[in-house]
A and B are shown apart, each in its own frame.
Chain A
Amino acid sequence: MAAVTIPPSSPTQSRKKSNIVTGISQDLLSRKLSSSNLHLAGPPKFDLESYIQNYKGRTRLERLLLIGSCSSFLGVDAYKAAVHEAKHGKDIKRYLEAQTPLETIAPQEPEAVRDTQWMDQQSKLNEIQTASLEKQLKEYKNNLVKESIRMGNEDLGKHYQEIGDLPKAFEAYSRMRADAASQKHIIEVSKHLIEVSIEQRNWIGVTSNVQKIKQIQATPDEERSLQPYLCTADGLALMDSGGYYSAALAFLRTDAGMGSSYNTFISPNDVAVYGGLCALASMERSELNRSVLENSNFRTYLELEPNIRRAITFFVNSRYTACLNILESYYSDYLLDIHLQKHVDQLYQLIRSKSIVQYFIPFSCVTLSSLNEAFAAPGKTVDKELVQMIQRKELDARIDTQNRVLTSVSSSSRATLHNEALKTAKEYEREARRRIQHMNIVSADLELKGGKARGSQMGQMGGMDDLFSEGMGGGRELRSRAYIG
């Protein structure tokens, strides 16, 4: 099995340890990843060249930079590729981001030398183009031709996006909406905005624009071509907010045959990985089987990532250890993905605890050693993790440290119900008493008075209002409130 290539075979503890060895502190892992500090030493399973071939546009650069900053194995290559990529574009900031680290990690490479000439030239060029596009737009506005204004804004937006000024690009694209004449235009506006928002990690922007497109009554043809786009964009946004179940549903809904049409932000492989991991982390076994493995649409994506399919199959077949091993072996790959990086730890944690819970379900009592065998790395134990899971109420069980077993909690429903009933009765009694107490205090005119003295008549009324505004039950009280009100 492929899992053997990377040493930490599964548990979180051991993985964290290996991370410490490679210089990552724990809190970095806890989702506050500032990518520049993360370093993965091991070789990932993918080939950089073919990986980046999957994408088009600015996301290529972004992905290369992330890999460069996070992987010491691929770092130099990724930065070098990024430098080339950047020089084909117009974004000087990105060029510097790619070139500067090279100065320190690989100063001997030709790409490490800062090409100031290109930078000057390009920045002048950018300025000129910005000015001319703005001017053009102004002229269009003077002529009051809607279509030209729209096109002008679009051109400007594209330009800003290319030079890396995303807020301005977002603004320019947003302005297009005012002059959108047809449904096609509206869809275009939203698509532009979604793309910019994804790069800005502005997920609210993504969701709202996805909603806007959904509201449009498109032709069946258009709808078919838009469906995967909307699902994947929605899925990304949901995944980022931590709604893994909804994200999984969004990815799983994605129609087959998306191809490389949306490779400015997502590739079909990504759909398989994101959808698969989110589903694994949030769905029960039967649901996984039904909506992932037997989902003919999603199967076309899963075929691109056989490891995910294998992991899910193992999980469905209750072979949790095998499933976790596969995932573990791809851990570093997923850490190099721009969207997954933030979530991979949490997703893995969820999958792990779910596996333990599922493993435990058929038993009333399991020895800790068998759990260790299934879930812990050699020489490690799952004890601490179990304690945490029980405390988080994910696992309804108790640990017996003497006989080293985990026992499930047998509940006596009759006694529980009786106790509940007694508790409810007691609460009712207490509550009712307090209400009576309050009513009588108020009717004896004994309530606490504020500093300001009011007329006696007003005071009386205020008192009554207080009494009733506390939400006394009972018909009579409500009635009298109605009279007073």
Chain B
Amino acid sequence: MDSLLPQLLAFPPHPSPQPPLSDSAYDEGIKAQISTLRKSSEKTLRQQTSGGESPLDVINPALNTVPYTFILIAYMSAYSKHGQKVIKLESLWDKITIYLETFDARQMRYLGPEFIDVCDRAASISTNAGQRALCIAPIRDALLRLNPSGSVLTGLHIYLIKYALETRSYGVIAPIVEKPVLYYPGANDQLKPKYLCDLSLSPAAYITINSGFLSKLKSLDIMEYFYNSGMIMIGLRRWEDALDCLESVITYPAKEGAVSKVMIEAYKKWALVSILAEGKLLTLPKTTSSSAAKSYHVLAKPYEAVAQIFETGTASRLKAECDYSSSLWQKDSNLGLILQILNAYQRFQIRNLGKVYSKISIPELLNLTMSAETGNKLSGPNEMEALIRNMIQDGSLMATLSNPPGQPAVLAFDNKGPILTEAQMKAEFAAAAARISRVTQNIKQTDHMLTHEKEYIAHMKKQKASMSKFGTHDQGIGGEMDWNVMDDEELMTGVY
């Protein structure tokens, strides 16, 4: 091992030279190093140093990510074959977590298959130890370090979220779930960056099937991922985000009017969550296909009925409706959400009263609202006051409660909502602008990818050929057609 070490640590040069290595030199160096390491056998890699130390203790994963990765894999594979004879589980796990939290993301771009291997093995080690939840946080951090915008969906996402659901680690996985997924395996293969190490690249350019990070997924996997993300967000009671995730499922693009069961189930959840978020059934997103919308309305009738009653009906009717279909909710495993809805009914009623009253006493509130959980009024002013306090505390009601001496408590609604200061407003606007400019970047990237599609290029060629043919017949339009003219769709279809 001692002979091997200098070779392993040769790249990247440390301390980093001034000026830093050019992208091409970096690319060359790291590729050479990787090809050497891929050839070395596991046994060689596991050799101890002359001092009797394990190479894992000698090498710093943050600096020399490449050799560390290979040595770690060698140990992990040995562990899975020979068990704790080779390395103690605790120390191996320590190494894995430190590695996943500190690796150098630039070097990692070259190590797609190895990265996936480490993560898979880490997951299976924790599973075998009966501690599946433990692998979620390190892999999550690793993914976010590799792909800070989280915009590329990987196979890791898909099983990680399943683990999180199984182990109810909703909060742990949330940082991944809340990142919008934009790119999918197979979509970004046209992006063939010259140097993977180029720091200006977007994650979509270096996390590809070619670089070994991605493997082909099925449409069902993706829908399941979004569905599960929706469940995670429901678990966290982040209704807005849950709606967003579920909308990705219900608007999932389909050919020939196909609708999947996952989409239907997602719609049911979406309908219930939209009640919890907005107090009513929202209109379907514009991108929903019409055949899917049709199936939703037919297959999720009871859910839409609940929404309608929630909006316009009485507490007792809502309770009756929910009780009546309780076996259905159970079958669809939506009973939890239904109970949430029953609980939310009175809160919404109270909030809506804020649109009519500016000040109202607790006894009056007691008379005006009903609890859908019991189908009756609350038992007394104290209970009502507790509910109001609860609502004010969790921020769902903008109001103040006062207790005039000798009189029942009075609730004063604050109709203006939270008033932001100028500075806060400015910050909000700046954040929105930044988000939109990021989206614009994504749009450009997607545009770039689409223009490099094989089909698109083939059409362009055909187009050009037929254009020049036309040019000879038609004196008016030259062979080289102006893009502005081409923009006119009607004209184009006319030509065809």
Contacts and interface: CB of A to CB of B under 8 A. Distances in A.
Interface in A413-466: 415, 418, 421-422, 425-426, 428-452, 459-460, 462-464, 466
Given A425-B436, A478-B489, A437 B255 contact: no
A46 interface: no
Nearest to B488: A482
A444 B186 contact: yes
Interface stretch (B112-120, B382-390, B442-450): B442-450
B219 interface: yes
Interface stretch (A37-45, A95-103, A171-179, A393-401): A393-401
A425 B428 CA distance: 11
A125 interface: no
A418 to B, nearest CB: 5
A467 interface: yes
Given A446-B217, A450-B258, A433 B442 contact: yes
A440 B436 contact: no
B161 to A, nearest CB: 17
A450 B256 contact: yes
A387 to B, nearest CB: 5
A442 B244 CA distance: 19
Given A439-B450, A448-B258, A467-B253, A434 B355 contact: no
A402 interface: yes
Contacts of A438: 251, 253, 287
Query: Looking at B187, B415, B463, B493, which has the most chain A CB atoms within 10 Å of its CB?
Result: B187
Interface string B339-370: 00000000000000001111111001000000
Given A434-B287, A441-B187, A443-B450, A407 B255 contact: no
Given A441-B184, A479-B487, A485-B493, A429 B436 contact: yes
Interface stretch (B39-47, B74-82, B267-275, B451-459): B451-459
Nearest to A477: B450
Nearest to A482: B492
A391 B354 CA distance: 11
A449 B255 contact: yes
Nearest to B446: A436
Contact of B447 (A391, A476, A484): A476
A483 B453 CA distance: 14
B358 A407 contact: yes
B255 A422 contact: no
B247 interface: yes
Query: Looking at A438, A439, A479, which has the most chain B CB atoms within 10 Å of its CB?
Result: A479
A327 B376 CA distance: 41
A475 interface: yes
A49 to B, nearest CB: 50
A409 interface: yes
B425 interface: yes
A412 interface: yes
Nearest to A475: B487
B254 A444 contact: no
A143 to B, nearest CB: 58
A299 B8 CA distance: 105
B420 A418 contact: yes
A422 B432 contact: yes
Interface stretch (B88-96, B123-131, B175-183): B175-183
Interface in B297-345: none
A221 interface: no
B222 A446 contact: yes
B181 A437 contact: yes
B255 A482 contact: no
Contact of A401 (B184, B357, B442, B487): B357
A110 interface: no
A415 B420 contact: yes
Interface string B407-422: 0001001011001100
Given A402-B410, A435-B287, A425 B254 contact: no
Contacts of A484: 459
Query: Looking at A400, A431, A444, A474, which has the most chain B CB atoms within 10 Å of its CB?
Result: A444
A210 B357 CA distance: 48
Given A418-B420, A444-B186, A447-B219, A482 B493 contact: yes
Interface string B133-170: 00000000000000000000000000000000000000
A442 B253 contact: yes
B286 interface: yes
A433 to B, nearest CB: 5
B255 A433 contact: no
Query: Looking at A429, A444, A448, A480, which has the most chain B CB atoms within 10 Å of its CB?
Result: A448
A23 to B, nearest CB: 29
Interface bin, chain B? 35 or more
Contact of B359 (A402, A412, A476): A402
B257 interface: yes
B470 interface: no
Given A418-B425, A479-B486, A482-B489, A462 B359 contact: no
Interface string A261-293: 000000000000000000000000000000000
A451 B180 CA distance: 30
Contacts of A418: 420, 425, 428-429
Contacts of B443: 432, 436, 474
B171 interface: no
B450 A434 contact: no
A421 B429 contact: yes
A434 B247 contact: yes
B222 A398 contact: no
Contact of B446 (A439, A447, A459, A464): A439
B244 A426 contact: no
Given A437-B181, A447-B255, A480-B456, A390 B355 contact: yes
B436 A446 contact: no
A448 B496 contact: no
Nearest to B182: A436
B423 to A, nearest CB: 13
Nearest to A476: B447
Contacts of B211: none
Given A429-B435, A444-B187, A485-B493, A470 B253 contact: yes
B358 A400 contact: yes
B489 A448 contact: no
B4 interface: no
B5 interface: no
A437 B447 CA distance: 12
B420 A449 contact: no
A440 B446 contact: yes
B182 A433 contact: yes
A471 B67 CA distance: 50
Contacts of B219: 441, 446-449
A273 to B, nearest CB: 35
A481 interface: yes
Contacts of A409: 415
Contacts of B496: 482, 485
A462 B455 CA distance: 13
Contacts of B492: 479, 482-483, 485
A116 interface: no
Nearest to A390: B356
Query: Looking at A409, A441, A452, which has the most chain B CB atoms within 10 Å of its CB?
Result: A441
Contacts of B428: 418, 422
A434 B443 CA distance: 11
A430 B432 CA distance: 12
Given A399-B356, A450-B256, A483-B460, 4 more contacts: A425-B435, A431-B286, A450-B255, A460-B455
Interface of B: 180-188, 217-219, 222-223, 244, 247-248, 251-260, 263, 285-287, 289, 355-361, 364, 410, 413, 415-416, 419-420, 425, 428-429, 432-433, 435-436, 439, 442-443, 446-447, 449-451, 453, 455-456, 459-460, 462-463, 486-487, 489, 492-493, 496
Interface of A: 387, 390-391, 398-403, 407, 409, 412, 415, 418, 421-422, 425-426, 428-452, 459-460, 462-464, 466-467, 470-471, 474-485
Closest 3 CB pairs of A and B: A450-B256, A444-B186, A444-B187
